[in-house]
Structure 1
Amino acid sequence: MRNPSLYLLPALIALGANVAVISECQAGGGGELTAAVRHEAELNQISMLEAESLLGQPNVHFFDVNTLEIWAEGYLPGAVFFNVRDWQKLLPAKKDATLVFYCANRLCTASVLAAREVMKLGYTDVRQMPDGVYGWRISGRPVEKP
């Protein structure tokens, strides 16, 4: 039987040649390469336990970013349906208010997008609950219905 490493040698030589070519490539206008600037603020994700401790607190607002069908199945107590055309009108005047956004579950990104849009408007205490309303319901926490 032949040595298996002999079969790999041509592939490794070809790979090395490609890496050599790639390493000589530069991007940009001929200047020094620098790391890309990140223009997004970090999103403050919170647990269901943290969200639960905020329910009913003054100056704390919960926003449900689900579809109307999911909203009708139940939402966090006191939450406001956020998936409307004029959502900016739902926001409090105070930019330092605590705003908590959630959608269906960890696979849903609607609340992430909503939270980031609100942050762009200058709100400083924006939070997002990744477990969403499904996680909330599965955990046995109370919901309200319209």
Structure 2
Amino acid sequence: MQNTFRPFGRLAASLAALFLVMTVLVPVWAADAEFRTVSTQALKDMLDEKQAFTLIDARTKEEYQEAHIGKAVNISEKDFDAVVSTLPAGKGALLVFYCNGVKCGKSKKVAEKARRAGYTNILLYSEGFPVWEEKGMPIVAGPDYAKKIQTNMMSAATLKEVLSQKKGEYVLVDVRDEFEFAEGHVEGAINIPAESFAVKSGGLPKEKGIIVYCNSGGRSYMAYRKLMKLAYPKIYQAIFDEWKKAGYPVVKSQL
């Protein structure tokens, strides 16, 4: 009888050991949990209601100087240790961090430094400055904010070659309105309207080239700028009118 129950004794011991390991590991996992987030509207309400919190722009000094959310202070990852003394003395003070959107890791890195410094009340505005700007929220703009940028233009012929030979290396984005896209677009393109581009572009892969196009260049230029702010490394602009004038095929879809 004693031999019969011995395996169960070993099993119980193993389960007890596993429970002990999990007891040790769970607090470690909890310490690495994601930060709580705040929406665009909620952040605006907090600012409008003059709630007590510190808003921190975790982007570079150059990005901050170009434009930022009002009342935000600029603390980048590399500058954190030098300026941490300027943060509120009370470790329970509310800190809200932002950078250039959901694929920008700067705010999370600076927030993590704040957590290691002992701050316990931290929020991330994960949608970031591009979405704040896109939704028409108030910003502080520097002298270089409206400065024209030079886009990396892709001709219709090059675009056709890319789509036929290197399609898997690129994502083609039509930034026109949904009804325009339905009336005719380049085959293989996805539709992300310019008016909501920063909000919806978070799913675009950074490891691929992103090609944005519209009819004549205005809306795709704005989308290009937003992708730059979102730190996409390979961005191109194409013109749909040039594609049509070259006689290349256009496909239709239903709304």
TM score, norm. by length of structure 1:
0.70
Alignment match of 1:49 (pick from 41, 45, 53): 41
Overall identity of the aligned pairs, in %: 28
Q: CA deviation at 1:87?
A: 2.9
Distance in 1, matches of 2:110 and 2:42, equals 19
What residue in structure 2 maps to residue 71 of structure 1?
64
Match of 1:112 in 2: 108
One-letter code of the match for 1:51? L
Q: Indicate whether 1:61 and 2:54 are aligned.
A: yes
2 CA distance for matches of 1:122 and 1:90? 14
For structure 1, the 5+ residue unaligned runs are: 1-30
Deviation at 1:101, TM superposition (A): 0.2
Residue 125 of structure 1, CA deviation: 1.5
In the alignment, the residues of structure 2 paired with residue 87 and residue 101 of structure 1 have an alpha-carbon distance, to the nearest angstrom, of 15
Structure with a larger share of its residues in strand: 2
Q: Specify the code of the residue in structure 1 equivalent to 2:43.
A: A
User: What is the identity, as a one-letter code, of the residue corresponding to 1:140?
Assistant: G
Please give the alpha-carbon distance, in whole angstroms, between the structure 1 residues aligned to 2:94 and 2:57.
14
Q: Which has the higher contact order (CA 8 A, sep 6+)?
A: 1
Q: Following TM superposition, by how much is the alpha carbon of 1:78 offset from its aligned partner in structure 2, in angstroms? A: 0.3
Shift of 1:69: 2.1
What RMSD over aligned residues (CA atoms) do the two structures have, in Å? Answer: 2.0
Q: Conserved in 2, the CA contact under 8 Å of 1:82 and 1:90? A: no
Q: TM-score, normalised by structure 2?
A: 0.42
Alignment size in residue pairs: 116
The alpha carbon displacement at 1:73 in A equals 2.0
**How much does 1:114 deviate?**
1.1
Q: Which has the higher helix share?
A: 2
Runs of 4+ in structure 1 deviating by more than 3 angstroms, as ranges, are 31-37
